[in-house]
Structure formats: C-alpha cells, structure tokens
C-alpha cells in the first residue's frame, strides 16, 4: 500500500474504495439536493479526478437526482458515497465522511452557503460561495 493512498467505504463494508493522492477540492455543500440525499443539513465532499478513485468491492448504486447528477450509495446500508455530473465526466466526488480516516482531509470551502441552515454555526476560515464554486 502506497503512503499516498486513502481508503474509505460505507458503514456495512459492501462498498469500499481506495484513492490515490489528495483530492483537488474539499467542501461543505449546503444545497437542498445534498441535504435530502444524505439526510444531513450539510454534506462534506472531496473532489477527485476519476482515475484517482478505485472501487475495490462492488460499485455504489446510482440515483439520478437530475438530468446530469448521479449520486452513488450503498444498496445494503444506504450510505451516500459519491456524486458525479455527466457534463464533467473527468471528476468524481466522494463523501468526506466515508473516508476511513476523515481527519486526513480538511474542507476549504462552503458552497451554496445561502442555503445553510440558520442555526448551524460554523466558524472557520473557509471561502464561502453563495452558490456553487466558480
Ligand atoms: Zn454499505
Ligand atoms: Zn450540494
């Protein structure tokens, strides 16, 4: 195992992955689509080039949340695992929380900050984008 590799997976272990190198992005998303998909008021995503991600067991099942967005989850335990947009096929995002050690990556941005739940108070130095990142 190479030292730049990180592992992750769902709660039950049916879906596991390995990623090489660090993600090029890591953010909190406050949008209502992520909220409803995951069932959490904000979701942390880590963004990779597709070739960095290797599914080592079964693939997550994908749900098309819009014409372009595909959200992967474990069919056994329901864990949200991935997000991709078919207009940008070179990228794949994974849920930061599905990393075996989520402390390895720190978010640097908030996206869709306008939709952040009002009682959620996050004080940090991250850049805030009112909508998606540019
Ligand atoms: Zn699972
Ligand atoms: Zn979102």
Instruction: Please list the pLDDT of the chain residue by residue as tens digits (134 residues).
Output: 556 899 999 999 999 999 999 999 999 999 999 999 999 999 999 999 999 999 999 999 999 999 999 999 999 999 999 999 999 999 999 999 999 999 999 999 999 999 999 999 999 999 999 998 76
CATH number, domain of 67, equals 2.170.150.70
> Per the domain annotation, does 133 fall within a domain?
no
pLDDT at 134: 63
> Per the domain annotation, does 64 fall within a domain?
yes
Give the distance (Å) from ligand 2 centre to CA of residue 121: 18
> How far is it, in rounded angstroms, from Cα 107 to Cα 9?
19
Ligand of minimum distance to the alpha carbon of 59: 1
Give the distance (Å) from ligand 1 centre to CA of residue 59: 11
Our count of domains for the chain comes to 1
> How far is it, in rounded angstroms, from Cα 22 to Cα 42?
22
Give the distance (Å) from ligand 1 centre to CA of residue 42: 21
Q: Which of these, 107, 57, 112, 55, lies nearest to 82 by C-alpha position?
A: 55
For 58, the domain range is 5-128
pLDDT at 53: 98
Ligand of minimum distance to the alpha carbon of 17: 1
| 96 within 8 A of 112, measured Cβ to Cβ | no
pLDDT at 27: 98
| 58 within 8 A of 83, measured Cβ to Cβ | no
Give the distance (Å) from ligand 2 centre to CA of residue 1: 32
> Per the domain annotation, does 81 fall within a domain?
yes
pLDDT at 133: 75
pLDDT at 1: 52
Ligand of minimum distance to the alpha carbon of 80: 1
Give the distance (Å) from ligand 2 centre to CA of residue 126: 16
Query: What is the Cα 52 distance to its own chain's centre?
Result: 14
List alpha helices for 26-79, DSSP H: 32-38
Give the distance (Å) from ligand 2 centre to CA of residue 76: 23
> Per the domain annotation, does 134 fall within a domain?
no
List alpha helices for the chain, DSSP H: 32-38
> Per the domain annotation, does 78 fall within a domain?
yes
CB atoms closer than 10 angstroms to residue 123:
5
């Amino acid at each position: 195992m190479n030292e730049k590799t990180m592992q992750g997976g769902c709660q039950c272990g049916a879906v596991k992955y390995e990623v090489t190198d660090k993600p090029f992005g890591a953010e909190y998303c406050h949008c209502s689509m992520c909220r409803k998909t995951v069932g959490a008021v904000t979701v942390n995503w880590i963004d990779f080039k597709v070739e960095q991600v290797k599914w080592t067991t079964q693939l997550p099942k994908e749900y098309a949340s819009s014409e372009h967005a595909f959200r992967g989850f474990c069919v056994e335990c329901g864990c949200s695992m991935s997000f991709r947009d078919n207009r940008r096929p070179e990228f794949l995002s994974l849920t930061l929380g599905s990393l075996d050690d989520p402390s390895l990556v720190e978010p640097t941005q908030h996206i869709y900050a306008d939709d952040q739940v009002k009682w959620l108070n996050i004080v940090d130095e991250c850049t805030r984008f009112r909508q998606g990142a540019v």
